[in-house]
């Protein structure tokens, strides 16, 4: 083959195999390689050099096929010889396997070997240093083009080691494309790269499409901002987004169980909600946008978050899968902006709630401090806060504590979260409640409209708090029912006393259940004792009613006589039937059996307390 090289010094020509060649330094190719990287990027440079080598290999293979060589193996051996003659590298083939079909055509080929002194590896190191991956692209392309042309089907070469990547030698492997399988897929794209002009045209179309899509996103973003500024409802916002995208949209706040949707057929809303519920139950709650594809429906969802807490989800639902990465990305951007709007809406609601609750809390403080002279004045002001107090009321005092193994938490922050949950609980049940912080406890003033079973509600509220605040213990003291708003401080003291007496396992204790002896032993509070004594005798202390005074004396004498009817009859100078009537009437008014030893003790203690305090007299 060396005879094929013909030097014509006089004519300035070099011929190899009857084809004119040019002689140039390998460093020029190294410089070209570097410039290509800088101007068109590494990926396009790699593709360019592979296809450059491929074309040289194809050209040499066509010439070899025209020679007088009898076998395919002999023709294939000419490739390395021509490669060496052109100064690219020295080729050592270590393995060559050919499989022929029944018609003597090449069915498959496997070849392995080493490229020694590869000019490409040397120049790459010189120009850019050691690479992360093999760099002999023209050699790979040349071998692929030569073998493919000779064998009549695609044969692709790949470097398994390269001096340009820091290995000791450049080792290659070539196989028929059907033998590679998926392993070679990433390399095939370099053999079929589109012309750069065509690629630029495609890129321009993509940029134009993305610009239009981004314009759509910005239009929706601006509309969302306008809707939020104008105070539109979340349902209005959801409807607007559906009209712009034509994609069914659902927004769910699972804390308040509110759902807003547009574009869904009947029954689909429940199906989407069930999918989101299963997603939450079967895995950790995520703050990232996700996709669910099931039963012919594709769900793109993103959480609605506020202060790192997930309150709900926004979801696009389509029966057909979204085609194209761009469409999916645009829909994701739109959905995340809708979610952000939902978060801002919740933040606005939360801020409004906190402002209103601060005002209500201040109002309750004023009531408890006795800053209002009359009940009518309190009721009038309550109307302005949309919290009418024109009903009998009760006061609850809520205490809480958490286990010692919990980390330190901001107490005010916890109190605010508890108040939010209480407000949300009663709001769902259309129940007005005023809350305030006092003496380290949460105070609730609960107006009682007709039919309002507040004891059941307070128990249900405690249970709800246990589900939300795991690790916390809650105790509640309940006052008696009163309609004297101007005496709210005294009613508050009742609830506080009941809470302080609640040392057992019960969550709620009522003031009526607390006895005088317990108050004396646990608090020693004179006001609390007097307050309890007044509640025990209740309606009998109506001094302006002579009948009540008569019944008061009757009870006192009956208790002094130890419940003896004969003694009581003589002291009061009344008939037995008259005494029995009065006893029956007393038990109706006091709602207790006055002949019961425990009740009698409580009543007699109340008498002695009020008599010593000179709050009553017995004629």
Q: Tell me: the pLDDT tens digits for 540-560?
A: 887 778 888 888 888 888 888
Contact 444, 435 (CB under 8 A): yes
The 10 Å CB-count burial string (b at 16+, else e) for 484-507 is ebeebebbbbbbbbbbbbbeeeeb
pLDDT confidence band for 450 (50 / 70 / 90)? low
For the chain, which residues make up each domain, given as ranges?
2-193, 208-349, 369-514, 538-612
Which range is least confidently modeled, 135-139, 201-205, 385-389? 201-205
d(CA 533, CA 527): 10
pLDDT confidence band for 111 (50 / 70 / 90)? very high
Residue 192 dihedral angles phi and psi, to the nearest 5°? -130, 30
**Domain 208-349: CATH architecture, name and number where available:** 2-Layer Sandwich (3.30)
d(CA 313, CA 606): 59
The 10 Å CB-count burial string (b at 16+, else e) for 416-427 is eebbbbbbebbe
Which alpha helices (H) appear in 92-189, and where do they start and end?
A: 119-128, 137-151, 177-180, 185-188
Count the neighbouring beta carbons within 10 Å of the beta carbon of residue 445. 27
Encode pLDDT of 128-172 as tens digits.
889 899 999 999 999 999 999 999 999 999 999 999 999 999 999
Nearest to 419 by CA among 501, 500, 360, 492: 360
d(CA 115, CA 113): 7
d(CA 66, CA 75): 10
State how far the alpha carbon of 498 is from the alpha carbons of 396, 475, 526, 589, in Å: 9, 10, 15, 23
Torsion of CA 313, 318, 320, 326, to 10 degrees: -70
pLDDT confidence band for 521 (50 / 70 / 90)? very low
**Domain 369-514: CATH architecture, name and number where available:** 2-Layer Sandwich (3.30)
Sheet of 309-318: strands edge to edge? 258-262, 249-253, 309-318, 297-306, 290-294
Residues 6+ apart with CB under 8 A from 37: 45, 128
Model-level pTM greater than 0.85? no
Q: Is the pLDDT of residue 408 over 50?
A: no
Give the pairing of strands 297-306 and 290-294. Answer: antiparallel
Domain 538-612 has CATH 1.10.10: yes
**Who has greater pLDDT, 587 or 211?**
587
Domains 2-193 and 208-349 share a fold: no
What one-character DSSP code corresponds to residue 136?
-
Q: Which position has the token pair 């939020």? A: 228
Count the neighbouring beta carbons within 10 Å of the beta carbon of residue 282. 7
Q: Provide the pLDDT for residue 166.
A: 92
CATH topology assigned to domain 2-193 = Muramoyl-pentapeptide Carboxypeptidase; domain 2 (3.30.1380)
């Amino acid at each position: 083959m060396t005879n094929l090289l013909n030097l014509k010094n006089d004519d300035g020509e070099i011929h190899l195999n009857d084809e004119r060649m040019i002689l140039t330094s390998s460093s020029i190719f190294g410089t070209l390689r570097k410039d290509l990287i800088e101007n068109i990027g590494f990926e396009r440079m790699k593709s360019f050099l592979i296809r450059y080598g491929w074309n040289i290999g194809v050209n040499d293979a066509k010439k070899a096929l025209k020679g007088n060589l009898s076998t395919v193996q002999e023709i294939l051996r000419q490739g390395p010889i021509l490669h060496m003659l052109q100064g690219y590298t020295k080729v050592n083939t270590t393995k060559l396997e050919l499989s022929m079909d029944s018609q003597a055509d090449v069915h498959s080929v496997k070849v392995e070997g080493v490229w020694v002194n590869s000019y490409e590896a040397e120049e790459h190191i010189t120009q850019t240093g050691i690479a992360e991956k093999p760099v002999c692209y023209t050699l790979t392309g040349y071998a692929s083009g030569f073998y493919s042309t000779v064998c009549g089907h695609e044969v692709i070469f790949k470097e398994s080691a390269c001096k340009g990547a820091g290995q000791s030698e450049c080792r290659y492997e070539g196989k028929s494309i059907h033998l590679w399988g998926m392993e070679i897929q990433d390399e095939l794209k370099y053999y079929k790269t589109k012309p750069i002009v065509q690629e630029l045209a495609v890129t321009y179309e993509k940029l134009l499409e993305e610009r239009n899509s981004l314009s759509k996103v910005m239009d929706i973003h601006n509309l969302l901002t306008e809707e939020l500024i104008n105070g539109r409802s979340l349902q209005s916002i959801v409807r607007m987004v559906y009209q712009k995208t034509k994609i069914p949209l659902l927004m769910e706040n699972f804390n308040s169980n509110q759902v807003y949707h547009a574009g869904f057929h009947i029954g689909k809303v429940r199906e989407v909600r069930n999918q989101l519920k299963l997603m939450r139950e079967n895995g950790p709650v995520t703050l990232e946008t996700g996709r669910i594809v099931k039963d012919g429906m594709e769900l793109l969802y993103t959480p609605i978050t506020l202060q790192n807490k997930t309150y709900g989800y926004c979801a696009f639902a389509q029966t057909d899968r979204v085609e194209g990465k761009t469409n999916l990305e645009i829909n994701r951007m739109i959905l995340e902006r809708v979610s952000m709007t939902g978060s801002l809406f919740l933040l606005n609601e939360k801020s409004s709630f906190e402002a209103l609750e601060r005002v209500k809390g201040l109002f309750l403080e004023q009531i408890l401090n006795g800053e209002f002279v009359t009940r009518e004045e309190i009721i009038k002001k309550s109307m302005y806060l949309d919290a009418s107090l024109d009903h009998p009321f009760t006061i609850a005092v809520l205490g809480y504590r958490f286990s010692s193994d919990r980390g330190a938490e901001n107490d005010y922050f916890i109190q605010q979260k508890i108040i939010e949950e209480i407000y949300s609980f009663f709001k769902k049940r259309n129940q007005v409640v005023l809350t305030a912080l006092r003496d380290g406890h949460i105070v609730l003033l609960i107006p009682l409209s007709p039919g309002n079973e507040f004891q059941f509600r307070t128990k249900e509220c405690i249970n709800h708090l246990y589900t939300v605040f795991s690790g916390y213990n809650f105790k509640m003291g309940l006052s008696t029912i009163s309609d004297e708003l101007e005496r709210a401080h005294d009613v508050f003291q009742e609830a506080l006393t009941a809470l302080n007496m609640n040392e057992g396992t019960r969550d709620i204790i009522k003031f009526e259940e607390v006895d005088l002896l317990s108050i004396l032993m646990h608090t020693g509070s004179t006001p609390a004792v007097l307050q309890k004594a007044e509640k025990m005798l209740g309606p009998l202390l109506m001094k302006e009613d002579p009948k009540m005074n008569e019944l008061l004396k009757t009870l006192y004498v009956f208790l002094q006589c130890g419940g003896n009817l004969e003694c009581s009859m003589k002291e009061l100078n009344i008939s037995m039937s008259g005494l029995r009537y009065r006893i029956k009437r007393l038990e109706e008014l006091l709602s207790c059996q006055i002949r019961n030893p425990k009740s009698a003790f409580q009543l007699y203690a109340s008498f002695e307390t009020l008599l010593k305090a000179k709050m009553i007299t017995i004629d």
